Amino acid sequence: MTRRDIEFDAEGTTLRGWFYPAEGTSSAAPVIVMAHGLSAVKEMYLDRYAEAFSQAGLGALVFDNRNFGASDGEPRQEIDPVQQVRDYRHAITYAIGLPEVDRNRVGVWGSSYSGGHALVLGAIDQRVKAVVSQVPLVSGYENIRSLVRSDLIGGFRDMFDADREARFRGEAPQTVPAVSEDPAGPAAMPTPDSYQWFTETHELRAPSWRNEITLRSVEMLREYEPDSYVHRISPTPLLVLVAENDVLTPTELALATYQKAREPKKLVILPGGHFDAYTKGFDASMVPARDWFLEHLQP
């Protein structure tokens, strides 16, 4: 398996990542376009998925979201979900221009925040012929309501407004931790498993990850509703992978969104929590995704 570094233009911003050619074929092959979730960088196990897809005869293009990791973009550590969806579309445009890729066999894979992006892409980009959405964020509004005590939400709104005015004056964006050791502390992902996974994975695999995002990123998260797109994905085949005990992107929210999707679709319940899919539950999450793409992207 020989991956290569790639970069491509996203309307003036250079995004960087890896391309994994499909193994075992000399002809143009399907391609899976992949990016990570909230604040994460590509080294946080996306290489494992891409390698597995490549070994199965599927090309894989993995990239860092703008403002994160190896990709350019300002302000650093800011997450605009609508822009991230557009960047997936730039990545697709780049991928289908590669000689190793069959432009008519494109799949998208996303996980957590980008699992929501995969749902939106399946609905709006007709070049996408198969979708895999793993432990997805389906509603920013409902997700925040499930994680933040209701009596604290008003304080967040005041912070958003103050940050907007400060940025208007030319001041630097306010930031908040992505994760916190104290579940009651300020953090975009205030769950113990989030803190454990991000800090351990940072030490093991991803030195470029930084434990901060802009406050405005949380405001944009609250505005983002992939659920509103899901009924439009059909007839593109959709696989949704939901963790049975997901406390970060709650299981019940993802299951309700899956019910709104039309056929063809498939649901797989993964053992464990949100982050187990990347580690001890890797085979449980990778194999159904790989097989879904092979089923729906083969000539």
Every domain of the chain and the residues it spans = 4-142+225-297
Domain 4-142+225-297, second-level architecture: 3-Layer(aba) Sandwich (3.40)
Residue (of 21, 91, 27, 26) closest to 56 by Cα position: 21
Which whole number is the average pLDDT over 108-137? 98
- pLDDT of 154 over the 70 cut: no
Task: Give the pLDDT of residue 185.
Answer: 76
- pLDDT of 150 over the 70 cut: no
Mean pLDDT highest for which of 102-111, 142-151, 153-162?
A: 102-111
Percent of the chain beyond pLDDT 90?
A: 90
Burial track 90-123 (b if 16+ CB lie within 10 A, e otherwise) = bbbbbbbebebbbeebbbbbbbbbbbbbbbbbbb
Task: Give the pLDDT of residue 152.
Answer: 62
Instruction: Give me the amino acid identity at 193.
Output: D
Task: Give the pLDDT of residue 149.
Answer: 63
- pLDDT of 195 over the 80 cut: yes
- pLDDT of 135 over the 70 cut: yes
pLDDT digits (tens, 9 = 90+) for 210-251: 999 999 999 999 999 999 999 999 999 999 999 999 999 999
Task: Give the pLDDT of residue 217.
Answer: 95
- In this structure, are residues 8 and 94 in contact, taking their beta carbons and an 8 Å threshold? yes
- HSE value, Cβ hemisphere, 13 Å, CA-based, for 25: 19
Give, in order, the Cα–Cα distances in Å from 14 to each of 3, 8, 86, 94, 273. 19, 6, 13, 12, 34
- pLDDT of 283 over the 90 cut: yes
- pLDDT of 153 over the 90 cut: no
Provide the mean pLDDT of the chain.
Answer: 95
Q: Count the residues in the chain.
A: 299
- In this structure, are residues 206 and 44 in contact, taking their beta carbons and an 8 Å threshold? yes
User: Exposed, middle or buried by CB within 10 Å (0-12, 13-18, 19+), for 264?
Assistant: middle
Residue (of 194, 185, 187, 291) closest to 247 by Cα position: 194
- In this structure, are residues 110 and 136 in contact, taking their beta carbons and an 8 Å threshold? yes
pTM: 0.97
For residue 109, the cross-strand partners are: 34, 132
Which whole number is the average pLDDT over 277-295? 98
- Angle (CA) 90-96-100 rounded to 5° is 135
- pLDDT of 87 over the 70 cut: yes
Chain position carrying tokens 């502390």: 185
Percent of the chain beyond pLDDT 70?
A: 97
pLDDT digits (tens, 9 = 90+) for 30-44: 999 999 999 999 999
- What CA dihedral angle connects 142, 273, 213 and 139, to 10 degrees? -20
